[in-house]
């Protein structure tokens, strides 16, 4: 990553994301990127983004296919809005 952009700032958080720490953690960032691999985590990150007022970039891949979506941006829907169950 730093070879592509030596000006990038990477912060590592070595703790689990929980309903108690998600919003305070996300408040320090402009854009949130979700690359989690389970639905429970996706809902947690999305809900925290809504509460924190942050846009969420979510990406997933399976074999040779992938998708990228931006949620909660300028009045757009959140993950829970699109996938309520």
Q: What H or E segment, with its residue span, contains residue 76?
A: none
Q: In terms of C-beta density within 10 A (0-12 exposed, 13-18 middle, 19 or more buried), how is residue 2 classed?
A: exposed
What integer pLDDT is reported at residue 85 of this predicted model?
86
State the chain's mean pLDDT as an integer.
Answer: 92
pTM: 0.83
For residue 44, count other CB atoms closer than 10 A to its CB: 18
- Give 71's strand partners: 56
Q: Does residue 12 carry a pLDDT above 90?
A: no
């Amino acid at each position: 990553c730093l070879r592509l952009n030596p000006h990038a700032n990477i912060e590592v958080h070595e703790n689990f994301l929980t309903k108690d720490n998600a919003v305070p953690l996300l408040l320090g960032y402009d854009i949130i990127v979700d690359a989690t691999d389970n639905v429970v985590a996706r809902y947690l990150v999305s809900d925290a983004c809504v509460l924190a007022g942050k846009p969420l970039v979510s990406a997933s891949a399976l074999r040779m296919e992938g998708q990228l979506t931006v949620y909660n941006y300028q009045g757009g829907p959140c993950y829970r809005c699109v996938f309520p169950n």
